[in-house]
A and B are shown apart, each in its own frame.
Chain A
Amino acid sequence: MYWPVRLASILAAVGGCFLLDALARGVDDYARRLIVLAGIWVILSVSLNLINGITGQFSIGHAAFWQVGAYTAGYLSVTFHGKWGIDGLPWMILMMALGALMAAVAGLIVGLPSLRLRGDYLAIVTLGFGEIIRIVVQNQKPLGEAYGMNVQPKFQTVWLVWLMAIVCIAVCRNLLRTAHGLPFLAVREDEVAAGAMGVNVTQVKVTAFLIGSAFAGVAGALLAHYEGFISPQMFKMEQSFIILTMVVLGGTGSITGATIAAVALFYLPERLRDAPPVTGAALLGGLIGTIVAVVLVKRTVDRFHGPKIGAATRYIGSVVAGIVLSLALGAGFGMIPKLASQSFEAEKLRMVIFAGVLIILMLIRPQGILGTNEFSLDWVKSLLRKRKAVEA
């Protein structure tokens, strides 16, 4: 039964990607671009999850590997495309492979300090490394300096991006489905104990960095050939933080969580572009309403130990109370001319919202939305079983 199941799932994945591609032809360019970028963010988030969530190495410069992949593909395309006698998909595959390779080399360079550094110190090194790469690129003439570079040929397909996202998810999931994933988790849990049990901690960490950064490199090559243009601005520190937020929000270590959070955190702020500007009154009202809702939810988490249904009612009640309070306060503050006249563009509040979401999460559910759970039939079954047990 192994091969039939395996082949069927591979066919389903490829078929699904082409179906998505076909559907995406029906929507406008802007919407199609969102679908592609969402796939790229999924690759970034899931690949950082391997380093950060699964192996527990606090790397926060993931955008650097993305950039290395993008610039490798961009530079090689500009320089060599048309000279090696390949084009189209084969060229794209070559660019992805080389982008992955270069990013993996960068990952190795960053992975090496992780052998000695832990926690915050590693975070600082990865962050610094990310900035170094960006600034070095910014000063290279052949790479277009701060302006950036045009990338030819463009390769704009939805299916390839999402197929790569699925490959990235599958690789991580396969790792965790076999015994080979356990040393990675063991390193996250306790390096000393892992070493004492024969786990080659060095090798595990470097492998995590290699695979994680290689996939970020693939995401870079895909981005470069989709946009047809890359610049250092696209890989700022802010982007690394967004990827990190996706991993943390989804539940550190959960591949499902990283995937869902990537789509949600990419898509929701995009909606803000169309949103009307908010007034100071609404902002202040919303802030206070949110704080109240968070406090109420937190009280439920900390003190309420009744059945799940009762808890759910309380959560919903808290959120509704927060929204009502926000609206009421917003209207109330609207009476104050100074607050009513001030306005903020919704899009500019993106990072504020990200920060807010993270703070709320740390307060209410520090393990992330999904914790270390993965979506699977077994998981759903066990949830249902628990619920029955509580009701009984």
Chain B
Amino acid sequence: MSLLQLEGATIRFGGLVAVNNVSFSVEKGDLFGLIGPNGAGKTTCFNLITGVYKPTSGSIKFRGSELSGTPPNKVAQLGIARTFQNIRLFQSLTVLENVVVAAYLRHRVALPSALLYLPSAIAETERLKAEAMRLLEVLDLDRRAQVRSADLPYGMQRRLEIARAMATKPELLLLDEPAAGMNPQESDDLLLTVRQIRENFAMTVLLIEHDMRFVMNLCEKIVVLDHGIEIAQGPPETIRNHPKVIEAYLGEAV
């Protein structure tokens, strides 16, 4: 059984079919790339998987059970976490707090204990903070833990997005253009980090990326979308020489 399986996933926005009959399977442990030109429907695919939109038709299965119609917070609880292409941090919260919000989905102490400031709630807060701190170390953000997230430099905001998603302890991590806007140095560092995350945390990663060099270096399997349609699927070598892909990326170095 695949970890994530899309079968004929389709969504229509009025006249536009943003994702058109897309099928692919992500196996446990994969480092899977989802690529395609701007407006191809990649982010929309993530939105379908995470329950932001419900597919017009087709099915999306996670660990064999149907996802479509599940609200985003339930999807996160099931074990799928994501980052956002257009960074969506909780801006006025600190770096640490951003991560604790995500770790909170494993809270065990009920709200009334917190309102009464009982020892159990304090201990839980400490536990979640410590967990969050460990993730910040992995992403080299620990020294900025108390900084307002909006005040972080851009590259670090991107990394914080990843730390926050990981704090939900997902089985499947969806990264939406994690290297967008980064300089080559930052982008290379990120490449290493993503590899490290997958190995150390036994996570499956599905990644959207515009930077071809990044994807070709990192991913073992790739799906290519264009105008919502899946035009190719396979390992990097196949994708690199695929005529349809070359056509879709006309003018761009593949």
Instruction: Name the one of B84, B92, B115, B129 contacting A193, with C-beta atoms under 8 angstroms.
Output: B84
B114 touches A196 (CB 8 A): no
B100 touches A182 (CB 8 A): yes
Name B94-113 residues within 8 Å CB distance of A. Answer: 97, 100-105, 107, 109, 111
Instruction: Name the one of B91, B101, B167 contacting A199, with C-beta atoms under 8 angstroms.
Output: B101
What residues of chain A lie closer than 8 Å to B72, measured between beta carbons?
A: 192, 195-196
- A-contacting 9-mer, from B73-81, B184-192, B197-205: B73-81
Q: Can you list 7 A-B contacts (CB < 8 A)? A: A179-B107, A180-B104, A180-B121, A189-B89, A194-B101, A196-B82, A198-B168
What residues of chain B lie closer than 8 Å to A193, measured between beta carbons?
A: 84, 88-90
**Cβ of A27 under 8 Å from chain B:** no
**Cβ of A190 under 8 Å from chain B:** yes
**Cβ of B164 under 8 Å from chain A:** yes
**Which 3 A-B pairs give the minimum distances between C-beta atoms?**
A198-B105, A198-B76, A180-B114
**Cβ of A178 under 8 Å from chain B:** yes
**Cβ of B232 under 8 Å from chain A:** no
Name B123-144 residues within 8 Å CB distance of A. Answer: 124-125, 128-129
Query: A197, A207, A372 — which one has the most chain B CB atoms within 10 A of its CB?
Result: A197
What residues of chain B lie closer than 8 Å to A186, measured between beta carbons?
A: 90, 93, 101
B116 touches A200 (CB 8 A): no
**Cβ of B13 under 8 Å from chain A:** no
Tell me the interface secondary structure of chain A in the complex: helix
Known: A2-B119, A193-B90. A179 touches B124 (CB 8 A): yes
Q: B167 → chain A, closest Cβ, in Å? A: 8
What residues of chain A lie closer than 8 Å to B102, measured between beta carbons?
A: 197-198
Count the A-B residue pairs with Cβ separation under 8 angstroms: how many?
A: 111
Known: A179-B100, A190-B90. A197 touches B164 (CB 8 A): yes
Known: A189-B91, A189-B92. A181 touches B114 (CB 8 A): yes
A182 touches B97 (CB 8 A): yes
Known: A178-B122, A185-B97, A197-B101. A372 touches B81 (CB 8 A): no
Instruction: Name the one of A174, A179, A195, A197 contacting B71, with C-beta atoms under 8 angstroms.
Output: A195
- Considering the chains assembled together, what is the distance between the CA atoms of A182 and B111 in angstroms? 12
Tell me the interface secondary structure of chain B in the complex: helix
- Chain A interface residue count, Cβ-Cβ cutoff 8 angstroms: 30
**Cβ of A171 under 8 Å from chain B:** yes
**Cβ of B52 under 8 Å from chain A:** yes
What residues of chain A lie closer than 8 Å to B100, measured between beta carbons?
A: 179, 182
Q: A182 → chain B, closest Cβ, in Å? A: 5
B114 touches A199 (CB 8 A): no
B50 touches A182 (CB 8 A): no
- Considering the chains assembled together, what is the distance between the CA atoms of A183 and B76 in angstroms? 14
A183 touches B104 (CB 8 A): yes
Cβ-closest chain A residue relative to B87: A193
A200 touches B93 (CB 8 A): no
B125 touches A198 (CB 8 A): no
B73 touches A195 (CB 8 A): yes
**Cβ of A388 under 8 Å from chain B:** no
Name A356-377 residues within 8 Å CB distance of B. Answer: 372
**Cβ of A177 under 8 Å from chain B:** yes
B90 touches A185 (CB 8 A): yes
- Considering the chains assembled together, what is the distance between the CA atoms of A2 and B122 in angstroms? 10
Cβ-closest chain A residue relative to B174: A196
What residues of chain A lie closer than 8 Å to B84, measured between beta carbons?
A: 193, 196
Question: Other than the known A175-B114, A183-B101, A190-B89, what 13 A-B pairs have Cβ atoms closer than 8 Å?
Answer: A178-B117, A178-B121, A179-B124, A180-B115, A182-B104, A193-B88, A194-B101, A195-B71, A195-B73, A196-B72, A198-B77, A198-B102, A199-B105
